[in-house]
């Protein structure tokens, strides 16, 4: 295990541990769509109650992001990852043993709190272990490792639920979480210096927006003041909100019911098709991240191109009346995942460029909840719109889903429009 005796090898081992923990976080994110029919059968849930139960994850995930960012900048990301991973385990147990939808929602909320302490501290660790020119690429790779969980939350989780039942499946996932929480405490380190190694991060000139005298003991109010005064922060955060809401709410709740109700897929077929979206995400996260590190056209322009392409994909659903030709479903799901994965690494990398290193965790922690808060709002809202149309048995008609796609296309238009006004933090000029 000689690779553990140098900073370059050690950081890859840490990436693997954090990647698996983030894998579990992403698995939880879209797992309700696989067990939606089970919850309807066992608890008599309707679309609105399913939406609220599923969204409990996103509400609490979003709520803990600012304090997680602050904690990552103060007590250190290693402690944050360990503590919050163990909280997610407790949530798994509560969810798996829930006697009703209320307790199931509480379990989802605890899971949301727990997995909310993974992504931001991971980026904080990367900022100390990887060079600036590597950051977008390594963030994309981390997203790909984690979002293999979205892949496993489709067909593999479907088989696991059919084999063990939904309750034992989530109890087992909780056991895996305990194991990796312990590994995080044993192996993660905030910086190479904590292992007695020299820094691997090069010193680079700060941008005008970063050239601020920031002391070590900067107060919370001062941190928030610096970040909230940045127009770039607000444009990126709002764009993330309107871009992330459609993808997360559709993939996490309505995709499998849509494929079964409208496109006529069986449950196993729908689970198989759902795998295509995270496959696209896993492909797009590192690919677009590494390209953005190397292309000279600028990350802002690349992000605009990606958002426009995503808008085009959702437009196919909208302008086809909610039912595009079945042959288009697989390529559309793949492209939506591809562009979704590529956008996230760029959103985070561009935001990082607006602030000095001591504010990285706080800034990312404040922006990261945007997409998940959007999903938390979109899931019950779209569920309400669908219930207003009504269902026959457990099947919703095409008109109900078309209402959902209308909300999604409007949201994507807002996400794209906001980025048209984003300025490059290094030059102060618009890159679009």
DSSP 19-53: HHHHHHHHHHHHTHHHHHHHHHHHH---HHHHHHH
pLDDT score of 32: 84
| Mean pLDDT across the chain | 85
Instruction: Give the DSSP letter of residue 199.
Output: P
Question: Mean pLDDT lowest for which of 22-31, 182-191, 199-208, 377-386?
Answer: 199-208
Q: Nearest to residue 328, comparing CAs of 262, 282, 267? A: 262
The fold for domain 2-193+220-419 equals: Growth Hormone; Chain: A; (1.20.1250)
pLDDT score of 129: 86
Q: Nearest to residue 95, comparing CAs of 56, 62, 60, 63? A: 56
Most confidently predicted of 61-75, 134-148, 303-317, 376-390: 303-317
Which two three-digit tokens encode residue 398? 């095409």
Instruction: Give the DSSP letter of residue 353.
Output: T
pLDDT score of 350: 87
Instruction: Give the DSSP letter of residue 275.
Output: T
pLDDT at 31 over 50: yes
**Mean pLDDT computed over 332-354:** 87
Q: pTM of the predicted model, to two decimals?
A: 0.71
Q: Cα dist. 301→256, 287, 304, 424 in Å?
A: 33, 16, 5, 10
CB of 87 closer than 8 Å to CB of 110: yes
* CA-atom Rg of the chain in angstroms: 21
**Exposure b/e, 294-324, CB count within 10 A at least 16 = b:** eeeebbbebbbebbeebbebbebbbeeebeb
Q: DSSP assignment of 132-171, as one string? A: GGGHHHHHHHHHHHHHHHHHHTTHHHHHHHHHH-HHHHHH
Q: How far is CA 3 from the centre of its chain?
A: 30
Rounded Cα gap, residues 388 and 51, in angstroms: 14
Q: Cα dist. 100→49, 52, 149, 156 in Å?
A: 11, 13, 26, 25
CA dihedral sign of residues 354, 286, 243, 173:
negative
pLDDT at 210 over 50: no
CB of 184 closer than 8 Å to CB of 82: yes
Residue 223's pLDDT band, with cuts at 50, 70 and 90, is confident
Burial of 200 (0-12, 13-18, 19+ CB in 10 A): middle
Instruction: Give the DSSP letter of residue 213.
Output: -
Q: Cα dist. 303→143, 236, 285, 371 in Å?
A: 16, 11, 12, 16
Question: Mean pLDDT lowest for which of 121-125, 132-136, 324-328?
Answer: 132-136
pLDDT at 307 over 60: yes
Q: Cα dist. 37→33, 165, 166, 257 in Å?
A: 8, 12, 11, 9
pLDDT score of 209: 47
CB of 402 closer than 8 Å to CB of 261: no
Rounded Cα gap, residues 9 and 235, in angstroms: 37
The predicted-structure confidence for 235-291, as pLDDT tens digits, reads as follows 999 999 999 999 888 887 889 889 999 998 987 888 788 888 878 888 888 888 778
pLDDT at 362 over 50: yes
91 membership: H or E segment, kind and range: helix 77-96
Instruction: Give the DSSP letter of residue 193.
Output: G
Quote the percentage of the chain above a pLDDT of 90.
35
The predicted-structure confidence for 166-188, as pLDDT tens digits, reads as follows 899 999 999 999 999 999 999 99
Q: How far is CA 393 from the centre of its chain?
A: 33
pLDDT score of 398: 93
Instruction: Give the DSSP letter of residue 320.
Output: T
Both ends of the chain: CA-CA distance in Å? 47
Domain boundaries, the chain: 2-193+220-419
């Amino acid at each position: 295990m000689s690779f553990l005796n140098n900073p370059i090898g050690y950081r890859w081992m840490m990436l693997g541990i954090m990647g698996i923990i983030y894998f579990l976080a992403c698995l939880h994110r879209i797992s309700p769509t696989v067990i939606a029919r089970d919850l309807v059968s066992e608890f008599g849930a309707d679309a609105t109650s399913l939406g609220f139960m599923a969204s409990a994850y996103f509400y609490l995930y979003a709520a803990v992001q600012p304090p997680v960012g602050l904690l990552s900048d103060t007590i250190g990301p290693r402690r944050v990852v360990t503590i919050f991973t163990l909280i997610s385990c407790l949530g798994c147990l509560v969810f798996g043993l829930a006697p009703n939808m209320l307790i199931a929602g509480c379990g989802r909320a605890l899971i949301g709190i727990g997995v909310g302490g993974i992504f931001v501290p991971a980026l904080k660790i990367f900022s100390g272990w990887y060079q600036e020119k590597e950051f977008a690429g390594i963030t994309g790779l981390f997203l790909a490792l984690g979002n293999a969980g979205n892949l496993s939350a489709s067909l593999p989780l479907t088989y696991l639920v059919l084999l063990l039942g939904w309750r034992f499946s989530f109890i087992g996932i909780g056991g895996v979480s305990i194991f990796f929480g312990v590994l995080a405490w044993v192996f993660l380190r905030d910086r190479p210096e904590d292992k007695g190694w020299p820094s691997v991060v090069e010193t680079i000139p700060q941008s005008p927006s970063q050239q601020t005298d920031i002391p070590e003991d900067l107060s919370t109010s001062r941190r928030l003041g610096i970040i909230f005064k940045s127009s770039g922060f607000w444009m990126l955060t709002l764009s993330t909100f309107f871009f992330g809401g459609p993808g997360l709410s559709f993939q996490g709740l309505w995709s499998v019911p849509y494929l079964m109700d409208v496109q006529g897929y069986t449950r196993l077929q729908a689970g198989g098709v759902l795998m295509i979206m995270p496959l696209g995400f896993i492909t797009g996260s590192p690919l677009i991240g590494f390209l953005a590190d190397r292309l000279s056209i600028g990350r802002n322009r690349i992000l605009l191109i990606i958002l426009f392409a995503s808008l085009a994909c959702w437009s196919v659903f909208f302008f086809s009346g909610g039912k595009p030709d079945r042959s288009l479903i697989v390529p559309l799901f793949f492209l939506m995942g591809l562009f979704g994965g590529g956008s996230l690494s760029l959103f985070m990398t561009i935001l990082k460029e607006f602030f000095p290193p001591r504010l990285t965790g706080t800034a990312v922690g404040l922006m990261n909840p945007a997409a998940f808060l959007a999903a938390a709002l979109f899931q019950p809202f779209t569920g309400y719109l669908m219930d207003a149309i009504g269902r026959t048995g457990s099947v919703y008609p095409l008109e109900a889903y078309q209402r959902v796609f209308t909300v999604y296309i409007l949201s994507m238009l807002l996400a794209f429009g906001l980025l048209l006004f984003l300025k490059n933090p290094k030059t102060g000029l618009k890159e679009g």
